[in-house]
Structure 1
């Protein structure tokens, strides 16, 4: 054992990284708090004990590893509460004081839950993600009287929620999500003075939401999504109950709730994440929404909200805004101007009008822009090209006109780590993550592996149409998805050659427009593309043969254009495309079309078959002439027969002939006389 002497070290006030791990040091010196510039501190694998108070002043600290020492967990960590910039804290393998934890998650356990034998020292139980099919036993409350965290999610628990869980004086986290629980939420549970996080998501819970669940002064996070709750959100202002001052997350999505939103929701000054999607809420979005200064995530999609988006809505930390599939109207609100923190803006399927504003480039952090199925018009602003983080653009089913901006080819469309990130979520830290957070290299022992931090369950999902279908993207898949959908507009002009620079794009849809010109051969550079749709335009020329190099292409369509020439060679991915990919191009030939290219591309040749056809044509002409002569003779014979038989017709016929001869004679004499007079006058 040895004590490390910090004489001289504590004067290094500009030191940013300190690693003294892997020793047998004891006694944490108080002067360590002088190193206020430290961003990374690793004192793991030592024999430190006692208080962590010397670290309380290290407010710039982002990474702290205390692993494998003798600190008392959790008592020693109270002094770290002021480290607001701390992103990663590793504290495994220290001295556990008055706590026992039972972690059995991710197995295939079945049968009864626990024997009714008291285990007073157990503080945490996690048996989530198993195959337990039973009711939650009532005796669990007496078996584990000091339980602080109970996680039973991702099983098949049935029946009602035991009311006794609300009487457990130390229970702060209860996760019963993703089971088959029924009935309502016990009012005893909502009255708990210790419960901070309640997660009942994705069960079969029914009835109206108990008013007291919103009136608790203790709840921090509340998740009731994915159930069958009905009715309106209770107006707790009219009740003689408390107020949820400290609620930071509410998720009521995917229920059958209805009515207007009560005003008290917008007065929760600590609210960071609010998810109310897929319900039947109606009315306008109240102006009180603008009071939520800490709001980071807002999802009001798939409801019946109407009217304008409040002009004052511009929370300084907002990251994700989802208001799709409502009846919102008016132009895009200018309140979002300069919202540099905004990552997702989803206003799909509303009644928005006007142009896409030129100030769109002030949303410098925007990664996902979804404006599909509105009534937007005008040109696509070139300011979109200045959004260097943009990776998903859906402007389809609007009334946009003009050309496709060629500068869209400047977008990088690489993976975006922040696209699905919601503050407070499940984070898994690797060595690369640590380097990202603190901007310097930190060596991590391989035995440490990855470290998870439990917090938020509100997830980021977006819907995007590709491969002839609409798909939901979330989590890591969303981070790597990229695409542009400009279909069903009134766009004109040629497809910019520069779009071939989008080497990371996975989906491009320009169908159902008025585009002309050729398909750019530069599209062969779209090496990651999986769906390319250029159908229903006025494109002409040949399909570039270089497109056969697109090895990830699953869906391809150039149908209903004016293309000509031969279809691409049927190899690799292009061997999988059927006739529907090319139909509606009369001058296009080759498989899988039935139009043979040899009839159009090769010069005509003389063959025996053509000679036979010529002889047949001559015979047909001779037969036609003989038939015509016979018919003419028959007509003349009929006329002469009639004149011989009927004297009246014969006299009429002779009179007609005589008149014609007389008229003809006088006409000739008159013409000769006029010619004589003309010549005589000419001589004079």
Structure 2
């Protein structure tokens, strides 16, 4: 086995030599292609659009250029926003730009390309969009606002990976060859706004069965809607036919569009009684607009009876028909109010005490009255589209405010210093806006009655508190997703009433203050995604802590023995740090752990999700992992104790959701069921699981560690409920257990980037629920599993990086191989059936290796010229390795600090 390690050194040397171009992060061929595109554009705004695209600086990283986005792992360009790089003066003078698609062929990983508003009127001969068929990952293509004609459609038909296509505001006219667009089998969104196309397109479009969104506003379409074709698009969720010249009644076939959420028929000439239209069958509708038509609308609005999801209805400028109210009905939907915010309500109603206009679609600025309103003690205008700054005198006009909620709007600017006059303020929620600047000292010092402070999801910066703040009554502190910096204040230990601290995704640095251990009522602590360093304080022994999240920091050292007596802990998340050492045995006693938790596996019987990824854990995978039953029965009991209420009045209370820290709302006193939220990576994406769905999600993620050894066969005997298993990016070896075929419900299995060898067990094809499967970059050999069941859906990327693996979907076919045995493989005793005996391979390889090395030494000794070339190559490799380490370390440091 020791002999097998030597053959890696020549491979590493070759990779270093050929990896020199990637030293600066950007692939050189892609950098050259971008500079060629810059040269090919003829416009007078070159300096404005391409200033960072410096052709003279060969060390410039194109991944950091404007309009360019790269994959942070591979350094390949994945997004290009090249809109408005051509000026409109050339278009107006009868000129225009002839496109050369070959400029983009080096971007093999390109997913998003925006070429809109560039005066493109055609392409260089034989260099049209048909060349884009080589871009197998291109999903989004913006070509709107150019001068293309119908010939572009045949050129686009070969881009099979396209999901979104924008062709609006071009010179498309007349009949559209649907047979060309129909070849785009994966197309989900098609935008053809303001094109002079023929109405027959709607009659033929039924072949594009994957469409979710269709936009054809302003196309000058006339006549009645066809009774077939477009009605066959059963997956259609949004359709825009506004600003056309349609007339007549709506066809009955529209009732087939049961997935439709958005329908815009405004500014046409439709007529007929809307009550007799198929709209009442579209129960999924959320947005419905048929304003500026000739519909006859009954005053009872009975056609809306079944539209339980409807939130926005625009029906102005039609004909209203008065009808006797022969039957009463209660609408099952709740429409949102729209338009400018009614500031006059505050101005004219001087006796107001409670002002709640949340969960609407109001726009515009928010103004306060000219005179003081001492009666108002509650204002909630959250979940609207209000913008502009907060009035600077708000704290003076409403001096007796008890609770102010302005979250989930588009406010900007800073917190007015007049907030310091709100001495009775107990709750302030400004989350999910665009606020910036520092938190005023006058506000922190004046609002000493605060119990709830939520500033999450803004752009606040600077330190969080002055040195002498005194918020002893504060219970809920949520500052996540901002740009706060500095060290965590040690005086936070004096805020004895704190129960929740959420300060994730900021720029805090330094150690975690040991003074936080004084907070005896703390239940939720989230300091994740910062720049905290040092060790985890060992004094966190409060039995009240239920959620403890320190992931994505620079914490080091072992996991402290801080929680052995805390049987109430639900979430312990320490992933993506620099923790070392063994997993402490005491964690096995935490029998109610939930979410992303490092554990001693054997004692946890009711686990939902186990996530130990992105750490430095080593050793083998515990055999006892198979003992976990993956049962969420305990989770269903976690309800009433997940929220707290603060009485506001006799009939109204402020409900605070512990698991969703930003969810604060007024509601009548009563029971509420809420659940914790857990983030977990599966199917190559990160999802958040919350509420009922968490009861059905079970997974194990041990990826990105230093685990070694073989996978225990017992792992295949885990509970059949498991949905995801990720062991990628470790040092695991040996064969893939046949017992994995017992995991019938598993949907994602990732074993990539390890050292597995032998054959892929053919029994894995019995895993009929698999959606994602990867054994890429291992040492597997033999044939790939039969293309049946779910395995027919897996492409070459699931198997790449295994030189001795053959068979479809890989390009190398299998020759002179023994037939794959269908008998189960004994993982403990039977040889894995690879191409040759391992001992023979190692001996023959070493003989060849020594022979080649002696030959090289002899040539270098005899020939001075080749000796000079050899040492020059060695020097160049050393410089390249130094460059690679320095630059990537600098990038890593800047990305973590940014």
Fold shared per TM-score above 0.5? yes
* 5+ long unaligned stretches in structure 1: 1-103, 372-380, 428-450, 604-684
2:756 equivalent to 1:526: no
Partner of 1:423: 642
Q: Is the 8 A contact 1:250 1:275 kept in 2?
A: yes
Partner of 1:573: 790
- 1:121, distance to aligned residue in structure 2 (A): 5.6
* 5+ long unaligned stretches in structure 2: 1-332, 647-666, 821-898
Q: Distance in 2 between matches of 1:150 and 1:408?
A: 52
SS at match of 2:543: coil
Q: Distance in 2 between matches of 1:403 and 1:164?
A: 61
TM-score (norm 1): 0.61
Pick one of 342, 366, 370 that aligns with 1:136: 366
Where does 1:286-305 land on structure 2 (aligned, <5 Å)?
286-305=513-532
- 1:280, distance to aligned residue in structure 2 (A): 1.8
- 1:177, distance to aligned residue in structure 2 (A): 0.5
Q: Distance in 2 between matches of 1:586 and 1:282?
A: 45
Partner of 2:114: none
- 1:114, distance to aligned residue in structure 2 (A): 4.4
The number of equivalent residue pairs is: 462
CA deviation map 1:175-219 (0-9, x unaligned)? 101111122222333332332211001212222112243332321
Where does 1:323-342 land on structure 2 (aligned, <5 Å)?
323-342=550-569
Partner of 2:124: none
Where does 1:1-40 land on structure 2 (aligned, <5 Å)?
none
SS at match of 1:556: strand
**CA separation of 1:244 and 1:515: change in aligned 2, threshold 3 A:** closer
Q: Distance in 1 between matches of 2:789 and 2:353?
A: 58
Q: Is the 8 A contact 1:259 1:280 kept in 2?
A: yes
Q: Is the 8 A contact 1:297 1:422 kept in 2?
A: no
- 1:125, distance to aligned residue in structure 2 (A): 3.5
Partner of 2:680: 464
**CA separation of 1:284 and 1:453: change in aligned 2, threshold 3 A:** farther
Q: Is the 8 A contact 1:391 1:481 kept in 2?
A: yes
SS at match of 1:573: helix
Partner of 2:612: 395
Pick one of 485, 491, 495 that aligns with 2:701: 485
SS at match of 2:385: coil
Partner of 1:126: 356
Partner of 2:449: 218
**CA separation of 1:476 and 1:151: change in aligned 2, threshold 3 A:** farther
2:817 equivalent to 1:600: yes
Q: Distance in 2 between matches of 1:421 and 1:455?
A: 7
2:385 equivalent to 1:156: yes
2:420 equivalent to 1:190: yes
TM-score (norm 2): 0.47
Partner of 1:318: 545
- 1:252, distance to aligned residue in structure 2 (A): 1.4
CA deviation map 1:312-347 (0-9, x unaligned)? 112221011111222222211112222211111112
SS at match of 1:266: helix
Deviates further, 510-519 or 260-269: 510-519
Deviates further, 587-596 or 221-230: 587-596
Partner of 1:227: 458
Q: Distance in 2 between matches of 1:587 and 1:132?
A: 62
**CA separation of 1:512 and 1:418: change in aligned 2, threshold 3 A:** farther
- 1:512, distance to aligned residue in structure 2 (A): 3.7
Q: Distance in 1 between matches of 2:641 and 2:808?
A: 49
Where does 1:151-300 land on structure 2 (aligned, <5 Å)?
151-162=380-391, 163-164=393-394, 167-168=397-398, 170-215=400-445, 216-237=447-468, 243-300=470-527
Q: Please identify the structure whose Cα radius of gyration is greater.
A: 1
Q: Is the 8 A contact 1:173 1:195 kept in 2?
A: yes
Q: Is the 8 A contact 1:339 1:364 kept in 2?
A: no
- 1:593, distance to aligned residue in structure 2 (A): 2.3
Q: Distance in 2 between matches of 1:105 and 1:149?
A: 23
Q: Distance in 1 between matches of 2:753 and 2:464?
A: 47
Q: Is the 8 A contact 1:495 1:519 kept in 2?
A: no
**CA separation of 1:453 and 1:550: change in aligned 2, threshold 3 A:** farther
2:626 equivalent to 1:409: yes
RMSD: 3.5
**CA separation of 1:234 and 1:367: change in aligned 2, threshold 3 A:** closer
- 1:503, distance to aligned residue in structure 2 (A): 1.7
Where does 1:540-551 land on structure 2 (aligned, <5 Å)?
540-551=757-768
Q: Is the 8 A contact 2:630 2:722 kept in 1?
A: yes
CA deviation map 1:225-280 (0-9, x unaligned)? 2222222123252x7xxx22211001112222222222221111110001112222
**CA separation of 1:359 and 1:537: change in aligned 2, threshold 3 A:** same
Pick one of 341, 349, 373 that aligns with 1:112: 341
Q: Distance in 2 between matches of 1:558 and 1:123?
A: 64
- 1:489, distance to aligned residue in structure 2 (A): 1.9
Pick one of 530, 533, 552 that aligns with 1:306: 533
- 1:464, distance to aligned residue in structure 2 (A): 3.2
Partner of 1:346: 573
- 1:455, distance to aligned residue in structure 2 (A): 12
Q: Is the 8 A contact 1:589 1:595 kept in 2?
A: yes
**CA separation of 1:454 and 1:310: change in aligned 2, threshold 3 A:** farther
SS at match of 2:562: helix
Q: Distance in 2 between matches of 1:602 and 1:384?
A: 40
SS at match of 2:710: strand
**CA separation of 1:567 and 1:503: change in aligned 2, threshold 3 A:** same
SS at match of 1:133: strand
SS at match of 2:532: strand
